[in-house]
Amino acid sequence: MKPSLALSLMARESRGSAGKVVFFLACLSVGVAAVVAVAGLASGVDRGLRREARSLLAGDVVVRSMKPMPQDVVASIDRWVAAHPGSASTPLLEMATVVTTPRGDAVTSSLVELKAVGPGWPFYGNVETEPALPLQDLLAGEGVLVAPDLAKKLDLREGSRLDIGGKPFTVRGRIVSEPDRLGVGIDLGPRLLVSRATLATTGLDTFGSRVDRKVLIKLPDDAQPHEAEDLEKSLEAGLKPDSAVRVETYVDAQPGLRDRFKNATRFLGLVALVSLVLGGIGVAETVRAWLASRLDAIAVLKCLGLRPREVVALYAGETAILGFLGSALGALMGTAVLAVAPRLLADVLPAVPIDAFSPAAILRGLLLGTGIAVLFSVAPLSSLRLVPPLRVLRRDAEPLKAGKLARLSVTLVLIAGVFAAAWIQSDSPRMAAGFAGGMIAATAILAGAAWLTTRAVERVARGRLKVTLRQGLAAAARPGAGTLPAITALGLGVLVVVGMLLVQRGVMASLRADRPEEAPNLFLVDMKAGEWPRVESILRDAGATSVRFAPIVTARLSSVDGVSAADLAARHMKEGRSRWILTREQNITYMRELPKDNEILAGSLWSDPGKNEISIEQEYAQDLGAKLGSKVVFDVQGVPIEMTVTSLRKVGWRSFGINFFLVAEPGVLDEAPQRRVAAAKLPDAAEQGVQDRIAAEFPTVVVLRVRDIVEKVAKLLDRIGLGIRILGGFAIAAGIAILAGAVGASASRRGREVALLKTLGATRAGVVSIFSVEFALLGLVAGIIGTVGGGVLAWAVITKGMELPWTWRPAVMLLAPLGAVVLSVLAGITASAGALRKRPIEVLRAE
């Protein structure tokens, strides 16, 4: 058959099928919209990060370290800059600290994220300040720029005094935007900008434990990207494997953030795929119903000389074209969502411009949408070969049933297709296999529930029921009622939404309320040893309870069982594992007795008087490559100290107490340079006052208020939850479209039913009631199974995945099925509107 004839036949075949076409497109477009929105957001963020890479780095290359920058590294950078005219370097430092401002006789304080910048910063991107004056002028002397929310919190104006590290600074204005602030994740406090040179006078940069030190390097203007990578390689060549120094170029374009985002969008991509798979179920049902109505025509076509495979190709081609059109519609919808999504999700997305139009995402949507449409139509289309042309002479000649092998092959093709789609979405065969397995299990359970429902309803003694209930139940149990696909699709949608909601609520509840009564709400870090008695007295004066403190000795890991940290780090690099645990600054405490949330799993505490003993948290020990009896050498401020691992522990981190991976025996590190960390439970009203007093007397102490951090995390989770709920909404919409489609497919039957019922005396309201019972039953079964399924999924994620306690949420478990019932009834009645409006005589005459 010529392609032009085939296209002509396809166009003619679709006449009079407007309703089916609409449902086909609706089912598919919703899922494609979700896929395009997620993929578009992911690629938009990735492109934005790459495009703004230089601005986000504020340089071409950044060298960073959480410890003071080694002199040889600084020297290397200086030599390179001197040898390359047009290049430059500048130091940068970021840390959390508490600042104070006078308030009458006292002070008021705030935790801030301080940034100290060197001359020339930023090399790329713009800094927006109020007043709009040159940055170096604003920061000259003891100038400081504050974020608007800090200015509001501490009532700061131009000229206000602000004490940083105990030194007075003058507020010269506000910092409105900075190019290298990503705006993603949790900020401990509002931004404060000072010059690097001025900060050095406070001594904060030498003492603080969480100081992020950087050197920004700008290449000459005509430098090519490979020159940045060459510089990166030459700097890294001079570093030991266990060095804490990291080098990054703008070409890398925020790899850490892009990786984190990629992982998140992998998960979201699979959630979006659920909507598309539901759409596929709807497409399958629409195609099945459509082909069932075309059996006579297909028999005639075979009589007229169309070969079986030409018949299949004809309808498959039509399905593919409709699949493409539905996908195109979905791509349009997804792009529209992308136009508003960045605004809605501003708190969780990097502060880069995100394009709404993403050709790659649209292409993905078209490919997956068309593929899913064809894939899910394989079963009904393959049965076309079995339509006997004899049907033209004998109406009772039904299509032959496909053999077991054929049905098995079709099922395997379907599973393989879903797996392939999941692989495309997640870029991970493991996740794809999990997704496909989960979908199969959920679909099987829902389909089983639907089958059981129809069987059970058939057996109900309907004779005793009122006519509305009786008719409605009978309608739901009738063969060809579309009960199975409707319950399966709606149930899957409910499962996804309820599952997401319960996980999010569980995490939020755990975050906010699931802390022991005596858990501290205030942490103090970077305290000098001699400061503790006075700090303790301030805490107790303010009514603090559960006051605890611990010493911290910072050290570097030198070796484990004779293997140097450098060699261990090299081994980790080779195995693709993170080196961070080996190269990081190790915080070791010492104590006679362990906190009560520590459990010894192996060995015993302080059991060998002949050795310097250390107790290590079990998983941390594994990561270090240490075990019971291992000899671990630490470099404590230049002094090597060997300790033997005499116990391994499990730590209950969720107690919110002060806990450590590394606990040394008292007497080993007592004389080492050390700081104090403390925690206390304060009455809520006393928190600010305590912070103010401590900040005034001890400017280097950082006060972390748990409530503020929890609120920030909760807000972030809420935003993430919003994004996930939007995606879940797509799944529900797909389920509703399928339900409506199933109703629409039986429109003529419903029309006859309505005509007969009205002829027999039923009012329109009575007919609506009967239909409502039918749809309510579908919604109830789908809602209950979906809710239970979502609950099981959430339980598994919360308890096994996140190791958080599970709390039942009766409100969600009750309201979700109710919501499904309401949605089902509304969708079903709306889809039946045409049939309800017809007068009996119109229908009966047409018969």
Partner 1 sequence: MLTILDRIDLSIAPGEFVAVLGPSGSGKSTLLALMAGLDRPTSGVVRLDGRPIQDLSEDALARLRRDTIGFVFQSFQLLGNLTAQENVLLPLELAGRSDARSRADTLLATVGLAERGHHYPSQLSGGEQQRVALARAFGPRPPILLADEPTGNLDRATGKIVLDTLEQLRIENGTTLVLVTHDPDVARLADRRIHLVDGRIDREERTVAERVP
Q: How far is the CB of 843 from partner 1 (least distance, A)?
A: 16
Question: Closest separation between CB of residue 742 and partner 1, Å?
Answer: 23
Site size for partner 1 (CB under 8 A): 30
Q: Which of 21, 300, 406, 822 binds partner 1 (CB under 8 A)?
A: 300
Q: Side-chain half-sphere of 451: how many Cα atoms within 13 Å?
A: 6
Out of 2, 343, 464, 845, which residue is the one contacting partner 1 (CB under 8 A)?
2
Q: Closest approach of Cβ 388 to partner 1, in Å?
A: 8
Q: Please identify, using beta-carbon distances, which residue of 293 and 468 lies nearer to partner 1.
A: 293
DSSP state at residue 69 = P
Q: Does 46 bind partner 1 (CB under 8 A)?
A: no
9-17, 162-170, 331-339, 591-599 -> range binding partner 1 (CB under 8 A): 9-17
* Tokens at 430, concatenated: 């493991």
Residue 744 in contact with residue 23, Cβ under 8 Å?
yes
Q: Which stretch binds partner 1 (CB under 8 A): 10-18, 340-348, 811-819, 820-828?
A: 10-18
Q: Specify the residue, 297 or 416, whose C-beta has the smaller distance to partner 1.
A: 297
3 state SS for 409-444? HHHHHHHHHHHHHHHHHHCCHHHHHHHHHHHHHHHH
Q: Should residue 393 be labelled a site residue for partner 1 when binding is judged by CB under 8 A?
A: yes
Q: Helix, strand, coil: what percent of the chain each, to 5?
A: 55, 15, 25
Q: Whole-angstrom Cα distance, residue 258 to residue 271?
A: 20
Single out the segment in contact with partner 1 by CB under 8 A; choices: 159-167, 293-301, 576-584, 691-699.
Answer: 293-301
Which whole-number Å values give the CA distances from 526 to 58, 533, 551, 626, 703, in the listed order?
Answer: 29, 14, 10, 29, 9
Asked if residue 295 binds partner 1 (CB under 8 A), the reply is no
Least distance from partner 1 to the Cβ atom of residue 506, Å? 54
CA 837 to chain centroid, in Å, comes to 46
- How far apart CA 26 and CA 4 sit, in angstroms, is 28
Please report how close the Cβ of residue 285 comes to partner 1 at its closest, in angstroms.
Answer: 21
Residue 209 or 293 having the CB closest to partner 1: 293
Q: Which residues partner with 586 through β-bridges?
A: 555
Residue partners of 488: CB distance under 8 A and separation at least 6: 281, 443, 446, 447, 450, 782
Binding to partner 1 by residue 15, rule CB under 8 A?
yes
Q: What residue type is assigned to position 567 of the chain?
A: D
Stretch that binds partner 1, among 7-15, 134-142, 399-407, 456-464 (CB under 8 A): 7-15
Could you tell me which residues come within 8 angstroms of residue 388 by beta carbon, excluding any fewer than 6 positions away? Answer: 299, 397, 398, 399, 400
- Give the residue from 823, 802, 794 showing the smallest Cα distance to 731: 823
- Nearest distance from residue 19's CB to partner 1, in Å? 13
Local structure of residue 701 (DSSP, 8 states): P
Q: Is 388 a binder of partner 1 (CB under 8 A)? A: yes
To partner 1, the closest distance from the beta carbon of 299 in angstroms equals 8
CA Rg value for the chain: 34
User: Is 304 one of the binding residues for partner 1 (CB under 8 A)?
Assistant: yes
Q: Which residues contact 335 (CB under 8 A, 6 or more apart)?
A: 36, 40, 356, 357, 358, 362
For partner 1, which residue of 3, 104, 159, 305 counts as binding (CB under 8 A)? 305
392 binds partner 1 (CB under 8 A): yes
Using DSSP bridges, classify how beta strands 598-603 and 613-617 pair: parallel, antiparallel or unpaired.
Answer: unpaired
Q: Is 297 in the site for partner 1 (CB under 8 A)?
A: yes
How far is the C-alpha of 508 from the C-alpha of 599, rounded, in Å? 27
Eight-state DSSP code of residue 796: I
Of 9 and 150, nearer to partner 1 (C-beta) is 9
Listed ranges 1-9, 617-625, 695-703, 800-808: which one lies at the site for partner 1 (CB under 8 A): 1-9
Contact stretch for partner 1 (CB under 8 A) within 79-87, 163-171, 294-302, 639-647: 294-302
User: Is residue 547 close enough to count as binding partner 1 by CB under 8 A?
Assistant: no
List the one residue from 5, 106, 133, 416 that touches partner 1 (CB under 8 A). 5
Asked if residue 20 binds partner 1 (CB under 8 A), the reply is no
390 part of the interface to partner 1, by CB under 8 A: yes
Q: For partner 1, which is the closer residue by CB, 308 or 595?
A: 308
Interaction between residue 226 and partner 1 (CB under 8 A) = no
Name the residue with tokens 């230049």: 638
Environment class of residue 530 by beta-carbon count within 10 Å: exposed (0-12), middle (13-18) or buried (19+)? exposed
Q: Which stretch binds partner 1 (CB under 8 A): 153-161, 306-314, 660-668, 793-801?
A: 306-314
Amino acid at 615: S
User: Residue 680: beta bridge partners?
Assistant: 522
- Cβ 18 to partner 1, closest distance in Å? 11
Smallest separation (angstroms) from partner 1 to the CB of 743: 23
**According to CB under 8 A, which residues from 75 to 104 bind partner 1?**
none
Using the rule CB under 8 A, is 845 a contact of partner 1? no
747, 836 contact by CB (below 8 A) = no
Nearer to partner 1, 188 or 300 (CB): 300
| Contact region with partner 1 (CB under 8 A), list: 242-250, 305-313, 434-442, 524-532 | 305-313
**Which residue, among 629, 608, 631, 826, has the nearest Cα to 737 in the 3D structure?**
826
C-alpha to C-alpha distance for 644 and 622, rounded to whole angstroms: 15
Taking the complex as a whole, how short is the minimal distance between the CB of residue 310 and partner 1, in angstroms? Answer: 8
302 forms part of the interface with partner 1 (CB under 8 A): yes
The total of other beta-carbon atoms located within 10 Å of residue 642's CB is: 14
In angstroms, what is the minimal distance from the CB of 268 to partner 1? 42
Q: Which is nearer to partner 1, 299 or 484 (CB)?
A: 299
Q: Residues 447 to 476: which contact partner 1 by CB under 8 A?
A: none
Taking the complex as a whole, the smallest distance from the CB of residue 11 to partner 1 amounts, in Å, to: 10
Q: Which is nearer to partner 1, 132 or 844 (CB)?
A: 844
- Exactly one of 158, 236, 296, 585 binds partner 1 (CB under 8 A); that residue is 296
Q: Pattern of binders to partner 1 over 558-587, x per CB under 8 A?
A: ------------------------------
How far apart CA 358 and CA 500 sit, in angstroms, is: 27
- Distance (Å, rounded) from C-alpha 138 to C-alpha 638? 40
Distances in Å between the Cα of 455 and the Cα atoms of 445, 460, 492, 544, 548 are 15, 9, 21, 65, 64
Half-sphere exposure of 26 (CA within 13 A, CB side): 22
Closer of 13 and 242 to partner 1 (Cβ): 13
Assigned token pair, 777: 């039953």
**Strand locations in 131-211, DSSP E?**
143-146, 161-164, 167-177, 191-195
* Binding residues vs partner 1 (CB under 8 A): 1-2, 5, 8, 12-17, 296-297, 300-310, 385, 388-390, 392-394
